[in-house]
Chains A and B, each alone.
Chain A
Amino acid sequence: DAKTTQPPSMDCAEGRAANLPCNHSTISGNEYVYWYRQIHSQGPQYIIHGLKNNETNEMASLIITEDRKSSTLILPHATLRDTAVYYCIVGSGGGADGLTFGKGTHLIIQP
């Protein structure tokens, strides 16, 4: 699986949009980009995934660059409950592959 690079930590003011970057320059053509988050001590939670197109769901938006070498997760109106470690992961999707986690980005929402 391709590897990802994320900043170790970020701050964002409550109510503002949180933009979390991820570099995945070695991603291959059939690999998805997916995001999970882990709120303190809990199990990770799926947020969103994409292959080539931008995606939006009730939690977040995912913007993937045209060359697919980087992406940005956007939380449109961050709340204190969004404070968590966010993991950007690339992989083949489907099947039974396990996820390869890096250290993620610790997002802290400031009141």
Chain B
Amino acid sequence: NAGVTQTPKFQVLKTGQSMTLQCAQDMNHNSMYWYRQDPGMGLRLIYYSASEGTTDKGEVPNGYNVSRLNKREFSLRLESAAPSQTSVYFCASTISLAGAYNEQFFGPGTRLTVL
């Protein structure tokens, strides 16, 4: 199992450019998440998908869109990048069984710089 994979690992954009961050998991998990981490801070939830076909806003959704393409893949799109979106982006997934704690598995992150 590769676990949670993210592409690209690094990206530099100019203000106003768009891009899509890709995330895939091979653990047959139901729920997937996108977080961002700014320097010296903990992770903050951008969007999540409880199951295939559903998406919901997290703490900091402005400036982002997501697509749950299928059970395996969850993409994050920046339509018009801004310097404030310079951050490290982490994707995560969990099986989401009711009545039990489900640990989240994280990808290696995408380091994005917006100039």
Contacts and interface: CB of A to CB of B under 8 A. Distances in A.
A94 interface: yes
Contacts of A87: 42
Contacts of A49: 101, 103
B37 to A, nearest CB: 8
A43 B58 contact: no
Q: Chain B contact residues: over half helix, strand or loop, or mixed?
A: loop
Contacts of A94: 96-102
Nearest to B42: A101
Nearest to A85: B42
B50 A44 contact: no
Contacts of A98: 33, 35, 45, 48, 58-59
Interface residues of A, number: 23
B44 to A, nearest CB: 7
B16 interface: no
A25 interface: no
B33 A102 contact: no
Contacts of B103: 34, 46, 49
A64 B49 CA distance: 31
B101 A96 contact: no
A23 B88 CA distance: 28
A95 B50 contact: yes
Given A45-B106, A103-B40, A34 B101 contact: yes
Contacts of B31: 96
B98 A43 contact: no
Q: Which are the 5 A-B pairs with shortest beta-carbon distances?
A: A101-B42, A43-B106, A96-B50, A98-B45, A93-B101
Interface of A: 32, 34, 36, 41-46, 49, 51, 87, 93-96, 98-104
